[in-house]
A and B are shown apart, each in its own frame.
Chain A
Amino acid sequence: MIETQSLAKTYGRGMYALKELSLKIDKGEFVFLTGPSGAGKSTLLRLLLLEERPSEGEVMVNGRNLSHLTRDETQAYRRTVGFVFQDFKLIPTKTIFENVSFVGRVLGKPIEQQRQNTYQVLKWVGLQHRLNALPEELSGGEQQRVAIARALVNDPHLVLADEPTGNLDPDLSLEIMNLFRDMNSRGTTVLVATHDRELIKWVGRRVITLDQGLLVGQEPRP
């Protein structure tokens, strides 16, 4: 599913955010990406979402080299990937339903399909009773559940999450992790960046550890 070879990303004058990173994540896997701040976790996710391009090496997703995608191919690729951020990135002026159905809308899907998919996914995250609420009317956990619903509404093969529980208390964090586990059990590949060791232990899945841009550990070893 995901394969990187000697991947590197530099900023400024040769400052490496990622260096010589070679790893492989299979289809349907649930993998944690961990390490201290500045380890390169977010950089790797940005490279996988094509928000940035590698300085060296290659990133392959589903056998496709992401380094050479055109602008339109990049957009087509992103349609197969869901993302969840620490700060939720919801549109404050739109309702919960609109925030999620927005994805189908800008992808030109039929209105009936947009409505159906949005309702189903919001029901799955347990927010079917808050459809007309604005994001500011929801708790942090609820907002993150909306972000997860938005990531899943387009039925992606891969979901990337950058510190999805960073703003949540432990109970809500477990609730969110259950949603990730649930989506993974349905066949979606999940890559979650977090520095919360307790959470990683609780979920009990494969862990890739980065430090200063280098791969420093994998448990269990592939």
Chain B
Amino acid sequence: MTVVGYSFEEAWISLLRSGRSALVSIGTIAIAFATLGGFLLISVNVQGVLDQWLQAAEMSVYLHDTISESDRAALESFLKAQPAVAAVEYVSRERALERFRADFPELSDVTSGLGQNPFPSAIEVRLRTENGGDAAADALSKEVAGQAGVSDIRYDRRWLARLVGIVTAARLAAGVVAAILMLGAAFTVAAVVRLSLFARRDELEIMKLVGAPFSYIRGPAVVEGLLLGGIGAAVALGVIAILYSTLSRWLGSDLAGYAGIGQLRFLGITESVMMLLGGVGVGAAAGTVASRAAR
């Protein structure tokens, strides 16, 4: 029998023998990985929303009512020539009013009561999202602000950039929390593996005296940690899947609607495999550290 086969067999027997302490260890790992997976799931969906918003990001160049046709045409030509610009569309005051009435029919009385059209004409500029697009768009907005006939500029990406910054910071904080939880889980796994080693101390002593290679002496401890971590991560993945399925059944369409995306998405194959491998890795590392007790 190879050392791998021996280690798996002995580790499995030891897990079954450990009973409650193994369950506690799996539970701790599962909590840590469910937290990480939950953050990952939120992150994946928030990123999807941000990507969509970033792609749809526009710069609105509002024009004075008094702008001449030639100035407007010159401004449009200038914008179309810019590398950061993907498309340009002129929206007249009338078109702006029509849009408002179509988008907010319940507020149409408000505009009727005013007696005149309150909307300015504007040029809507769709920006490119490639690398360097943000810096170029920033420069462009400053340049356009000084052009004749321009009254104001609204640039969506500024607050989106701030939102991306906040999301990145939140992701970092979540990563730190998950890392702390995982460290705690690793300590629990190591403690359980040490308990198993203690329970097998007579066997280990005999193994050493008959000259068993250290891979046979320590292997089962490493594999036990690996199994605890892997099972814990799999349980976490299952819990997240159940929560996701329940939440998306109850609130999925509402949440997707608010976010302006088609539908919420679950973790991809890569993220799921990474989570499982993470569990296996943390468990194996904890098992390896604990196995050093068998000297």
Contact B210 A79, beta carbon cutoff 8 Å: yes
Q: Indicate if A102 sits at the interface (CB-CB under 8 A).
A: yes
B216 lies within 8 A of A106 (CB): yes
Provide the bound-state CA to CA distance between A106 and B5, in Å.
Answer: 11
B209 touches A49 (CB 8 A): yes
Q: Among the listed A49, A103, A108, which residue makes an inter-chain contact with B2, where contact means beta carbons less than 8 Å apart?
A: A108
State the CA gap A49–B205 with chains docked (Å).
12
A102 to B117, CA, bound (A): 93
Do A108 and B3 touch (CB < 8 A)? yes
Contact A106–B202 (Cβ < 8 Å)? no
A107: chain B residues within 8 A (beta carbon): 210-213, 216
The answer on a CB contact under 8 Å between A83 and B1 is no
Residues of B within 8 A of A102 (CB): 203, 206
Alpha-carbon distance between A22 and B3 when the two chains are bound, in angstroms: 40
In the complex, which residue of chain B has the Cβ closest to the Cβ of A83? Answer: B209
Given A89-B202, A89-B205, verify A105-B210 contact (CB < 8 Å): no
Find residues 194-222 in chain B having any chain A CB closer than 8 Å to their own CB: 202-203, 205-214, 216-217
Pick from A49, A78, A80, A105: contact of B1, CB under 8 Å: A105
Residue of A whose beta carbon sits closest to that of B207? A106
Task: Tell me, in angstroms, the Cα distance from A110 to B246 when the chains sit together.
Answer: 52
The CA of A92 and the CA of B1, in the complex, are separated in Å by 22
Interface bracket on B = 10 to 19
Point out which of B202, B207, B208, B211 has the most chain A C-beta atoms below 10 A from its C-beta: B211
CB-based contact B211/A77 at 8 Å: yes
Q: Does A91 contact B (CB under 8 A)?
A: yes
B129 to chain A, nearest CB (A): 59
A94's nearest neighbour on chain B, judged by CB, is B203
Closest Cβ–Cβ distance, residue A135 to chain B (whole Å):
11
The answer to whether A106 touches B2 (Cβ under 8 A) is no
In the complex, whether A154 has a CB less than 8 A from a CB of chain B is yes
How far, in Å, is A31 (CB) from chain B's closest CB? 21
Q: Counting CB contacts under 8 A, is B6 at the interface?
A: yes
A40 CA / B2 CA spacing, docked (Å): 40
When C-beta atoms are compared, the residue in chain B nearest to A106 turns out to be: B212
Q: Mark A71-90, 1 if CB is under 8 A from B, else 0.
A: 11011111111010000010
Distance (Å) between the CB of A205 and the closest chain B CB?
25
A75 touching B212 in the complex, CB below 8 Å, given contacts A105-B1, A105-B6: yes
Distance (Å) between the CB of A9 and the closest chain B CB? Answer: 18
Q: Which residues of A contact B202 (CB under 8 A)?
A: 89, 91-92
List A contacts of B212 (CB < 8 A): 75, 106-107
The chain A residue with its CB closest to the CB of B200 is A91
A interface residues, Cβ below 8 angstroms from B: 49, 51, 71-72, 74-81, 83, 89, 91-92, 102-103, 105-108, 111, 150, 154
> Taking beta carbons and an 8 Å cutoff, which residues of B are in contact with A?
1-3, 6, 202-203, 205-214, 216-217
